[in-house]
Structure 1
Amino acid sequence: MDIQVRNANKADFQAVRRIMNQVQEMHVEWRPDIYKPNEDFITEEVFDRMIGCGNLFVADMGGIVAGVLEITYRHIESPTHVTRDVIFIDTMAVDSEFRGKGIGHQFFGKVKELKEASGLDGIELQVNARNHAAYEMYREYGFTEKSINMELL
């Protein structure tokens, strides 16, 4: 089936919310000491702001929203860093029914297209240390580790 990555619109709210809730459930399963169940963390008001920025995309498969991609543009400038402008992938989530069908690669293609069109320096993201499948997909796509977050409980 053909995958179209497009800007999210108001009609996508319930599908985006469903997918984001799946992600939240995974986080709760992996780290119940940090994450808690919350099916309402994306309200319509928050969603409207997200689509208003133009940085929220969905993977559309024949009229079914199968994935969500949210990006931000970051300007990095400090006395200790080289000045850079990057696209940061805040969210890349695929509905559990559609994983393994190439949606992540379509999202990467969209982000790469946006990076090149804007003349930016790079693409960055974070991945949960327990999300081995996503980590491997990112590595296969060419991402390398930039830093590692650690904690002491």
Structure 2
Amino acid sequence: MVSIEKASSEDIEELARIYLEGYKGLEEYAYTHMEDVIAYLNWLFRRDVAGIFVAVADGKKIGFIASDGNWYSKREGKVVGAIHELVVLPEYRGLGVGKKLLDRAIQYFKERGLDTVELWVGDENVSALEFYKKYGFKEKDRFNYWVRMTRSIKDEVGG
């Protein structure tokens, strides 16, 4: 059984370990040194402390999502819900953990009155691209090796 809980700044070191483990093989898209990851996570918590959620199974943190309900998207021309990170430990992938985290973030964005979700994903991160497409995200544009994807949540029930 996996539960989704609000993360707190006390979780940063554990989230950093999940981040580093989760990005193995995709280092070109990630910070690779613990001190850089911790600085990045601190930035995410300052951006929107209420939008960071952690997946817990049997008392162990196994993944997290950093969602930001304060993000102004220049490309969309408005504040959108931004997914800055969605990381699940490799041994827990394919079990619905990522979907639970994503669903919680989208619920959070709806609670904030937002109608669009935006994220950027590495162009060779095929499993992430397929995951987001499966859950209704559409590719909007590309910048270098990043793909920008969005999903409208305007007319969805819930939240």
For the aligned pair, the TM-score class normalised by the smaller chain equals: 0.7 to 0.9
- Which residue of 2 is the match for residue 104 of structure 1? 98
| 1:73-110 Cα shifts (integer Å, max 9, x gaps) | 21346xxx664321100000001111111011101211
**How many angstroms apart in 2 are the aligned matches of 1:142 and 1:46?**
27
TM-score (norm 1): 0.78
Return closer, same or farther for 1:141/1:95 CA change in 2, 3 Å cut-off: same
Larger radius of gyration: 1
Question: 1:120 is paired with a residue of what secondary structure?
Answer: coil
Aligned residues: 142
Gap regions ≥5 residues in structure 2: 146-159
**How many angstroms apart in 2 are the aligned matches of 1:96 and 1:82?**
33
Aligned identity (percent) is 23
The one-letter code sitting in structure 2 at the alignment partner of 1:134 is: A
**How many angstroms apart in 2 are the aligned matches of 1:19 and 1:63?**
15
TM-score (norm 2): 0.75
1:69 equivalenced with 2:65 (yes/no): yes
1:55-94 matches, cutoff 5 A: 55-72=51-68, 73-76=70-73, 83-94=77-88
Question: 1:147 is paired with a residue of what secondary structure?
Answer: strand
Q: Contact 2:65–2:105 at 8 Å: present in 1 too?
A: no
Q: What is the Cα deviation at residue 134 of structure 1?
A: 0.8
Gap regions ≥5 residues in structure 1: none
1:22 equivalenced with 2:21 (yes/no): yes
**How many angstroms apart in 2 are the aligned matches of 1:116 and 1:10?**
24
Bigger fraction of residues in strand? 2
The one-letter code sitting in structure 1 at the alignment partner of 2:84 is: D
